[in-house]
Structure formats: structure tokens, C-alpha cells
Structure 1
Amino acid sequence: MYYLAPTRVEHRLIIVRIDNATIFVVGDTTLDAIQPMLEKEFGKWKAEGNKGTKQIAQASMPEKGQAIIIDRPGAQQSLILAAHLAPPTGADNNIAIETMNLTLGGAFTARVNMNLREDKSWSYGAYTFLQDARGQRPFMVYAPVQTDKTGPSLLELKKELNAYIGEKPPTADELERARLDQVRSLPGQFETANAVLSSLLSSKRFDRQYAYPESLVDKYNDLSLEDLSKAAEEVLHPEKLTWIIIGDAEKIIADVEAADLGSVSVKSMNAL
């Protein structure tokens, strides 16, 4: 006999229910054509009890940063990861946040990759990125580097992050390059039925109008350098990052401590 644990039963009853569902259909069809099919498949599905709602908690930033070394003896590379919380994907200024990230580290030609890969040849690719979420989402830094360049790479990453919100804010050229990159990529994002469906699901997930994509060109064209700088001030907090460095602890710990990232701890791969 198939058994559902109580928590799974509860989830099914209060969340996975017809009055909490939206059905999306994309293709060469009409509502008149598909409604009988939907009624046949879902018409007998009745909601039971009260509908549940998701409560997305708000987490606070740490007061200080920290560095955690995951020891891999003999590693030829160090994988540098860093993260802290950022505003939700559904934030009103999300376009400015995404474009800010694109100029900082979200593209091959962005500052972080041009520094560590193209200028210094310490990495095959270094980036910053944001992961989508309805609540707070992570802003992350990613940089696999040569073991002997772990310390210098940490210093360069700190420098790039601090410079963006300090003495080296985004430039007009960076904004224009990012704007064109995003606008010119829009047609390719809607070439297939599945792509259109994904857009509709995204709009539903982040409480946007379904016509939201139609406004994107104007939103990108209306961006200013001030918008990017304000987004950077809101999102970037280099002093509060949690850094995770996977590499040979014996070879890199002195450089990690010297990078002044916060408290430093070492953990074994076997202890994870």
C-alpha cells in the first residue's frame, strides 16, 4: 500500500488543490477547443478544507563576513564562492539589479571576468550572478583559480566589488553594452512554445502581469547610471559576504587570512 507521510498529505490538501492552481496552455489552439479537455481531466477535482498560503520569512544579513576553507589536499585549483542575500526577483527595480550585475560580473566582458581571466589569466572564468526566488535570493561570486593565485584573486574580487559601489561606479559604455545585450536577446527568448510558457510561469511566480515581457524594451531603454548605482548600493555588501574556498588548506590558509574576509575556519571534505 502506498503511504503518504502526514506532512505530505497536509501539503497536498492545503497547497496542491484546484482552487490554488493556474493552468497554462501554449499552442495553436483556443479556449473553446481546450476547455472541454480540461473539464474532462480536472472537472471532478474538488478542493477540501481551507486553502493554505506560503509564508516566506525575511532573513537578516550577518553583521560581518566570514571565510570557510573546505580542505582538498593536493588540489591544483581553488574554487572561490561567496554569497549574501539580495532583494527578490520580483523587486520593482529588478531590471536595474540584473543590469548592474551584468556589468559587474554577469557577462564574459564584465569587470570580474575581464580582470581575473582576460587580464591576469588566473581563471578560466569568473562571474557574479543572482538566482531567482520569490523571497530574498542569493547574490553570488564564482571564481575557480590557480592555487597559488587564491590570495591575490580574493583581493581582486574584493577590489572589484568595493570599487563598483565606490570610486569606480558603472560607466555609460558599460550600461549601453548591457542594455543592448539584453534587448537584442529578447526575440530569442520567445522562439518556442516552451519558451513562451516559461515566460508566463515566471510572470505568475513573481506576481507580474502576463504582458510584462512587452514592457522590457522600454524598461531597459529607460535605465540610467543612477539606477545602476542605486541598485549596487542596495545589493552589494562585500563586508558581509560568506566566502567558501575549496582547495588545499595548507597552501592557501595564510593568503585567505591575509585577505581580511572575516573569521576564517577550515573544514574537512569528509566532515561535510
Structure 2
Amino acid sequence: MQPEEYENTGWLSYFSRHKTTYTAADIHKISNELNNVRKNLTATQYAYGELSSELKALRSLHEQRLSEEYERASAAVNSKSSGGSKSTEKRLTQQSDDIKYLKNELAGCRNELVKQINALKVNVSEASKKKLKTGQLPTGASLNIESRIMALEAQLDQLMGENRDRINGLEGRLNQLEQQHECECSHALKKLEASTSRKFQEMSNMIVELQRKLDSSETKLDEQIRNQSMSQDAIYEELDQRMDVFASKLRELHARIAHMGLRDDIGSTFV
């Protein structure tokens, strides 16, 4: 292998195998290679730092998205449940108002009929008393009035019975709607609780999995940085040893050149 081919594999390897003496150019190449090693280590550490930051940001973003998704799902369920509840409550309120109105109307009709019957009874009673005082017997008109009173009382009893049945039916329907509404609300609440528990469990599982991956990545990062540091320390130690050898060789070479009375600028490369 030619010296130029060591540009990509490392000059230290070439020097350790093929050289015993070193020139200023050799020292310069070794220094450049050491600087490149330092730059690579710094870049690697920076890249791993960026990766760790990105992983943390990803976890935070994922948690935020899960939280937003849960809030949207919960809002949708609440909106749907609220819409159904409002509709049912509106129907129940309407039914209750109808029953109250019917009861009031029935009470008004009954009171009015009772007043009319009482008035007729008073009139008949007064007319009968007057005729008895004069010695007259009841006429067909008074008997007709009494018949009307009896008919009105029968009509009142019939009306009360019909409306009582209607009110009882409406009250039964109202109770049925209330029970149905309560059942629907209970079912919707249980469904929401189950959905909430499931969403929370899924979120917890995803966070745990993401944390596990992040911890694994951080462990690998720490291991790689530790290995890089160990390699860097080993390179520095080897370079220090070789630099000592280089310096010794150069001093020896400088002494020989000085002894021979020659001048060379190689000595100026070391202090």
C-alpha cells in the first residue's frame, strides 16, 4: 500500500508500520488526523444530544396528541349524551305540563258544574218552599229541573271518571319515560366511564412504551459516548507515546545534523 492510500485509513497506521523516523510533514499529518478525530467525536456527541432532544420532544408531542384526542372523544360523548338527555328531558317536561294543564282544566270544569248544580238546587228548593207555603204541589217544570240536576250530576261523575282514567294513563306514561330516561343516562354514563378507562389505559401503555424506547436509546447513547471517550483516551495516550518517540528521534537527528555541521530547519518544528 502506497502512503497516499492511507489518507482514508489513517496516517497513524501507516507510520506505526512503515516508519521509524519522522519528518515535519509526518508530524503535521498526525496532528491533522488527531484534530479530525476530535472533530468527529464532538460531532458524534452533538448528534446524539440532538437525537435525545428529538426523542423527548417526540414523547411530549405524542402525549399532547393523546390528551387532545381523549378530550375530543370525551367532548363528543358528552355532547351526544347531553343532546339525548335534553331531548328526553324536554319530552318529560312537556308531558308533565300537559298533565298539570289537564288537571287544572278538569278541576275548573268540575267546579263550574258543581256551582251550576248547587245554583239549580237552591232555585228548586226555594221554588218548592214557596209552592208548599201556597199549598201548591210540584209542577212538571220543577220536576224537569230536578231531572236536569240529576243528569248533570251523572254527567259530572262520567266526566270525572273519563278524565281520571286519562290522567292515570298520562301519569303512567310519564313514569315510564322517567324510568327510560334514567336507564339511558345510566347506560351512557357507564359507557363513558368504560371509554374513559380504556383511553387512559391505552395512553398509559403508549407512554410506558415510549419511555422504554427513550430509556433504551439513552442507554445506547451513553454506551456509545463512553466507547468514543475510551477510544479517544486510547488515541491520545498512543499519540502521546508516539510524540515522545518522535521528539526523541528528532532530537537525535538534530544532534547528528549539528554534529555533522549541517543546517536544516527540521529542529524548528519542535520546541
Bin of the TM-score, shorter chain as denominator length? under 0.3
Structure number with bigger Rg: 2
Structure holding more helix per residue: 2
- Looking at secondary structure, tell me which structure has more strand per residue: 1
> TM-score if structure 1 supplies the norm length?
0.20
State the TM-score, normalized to the length of structure 2: 0.20
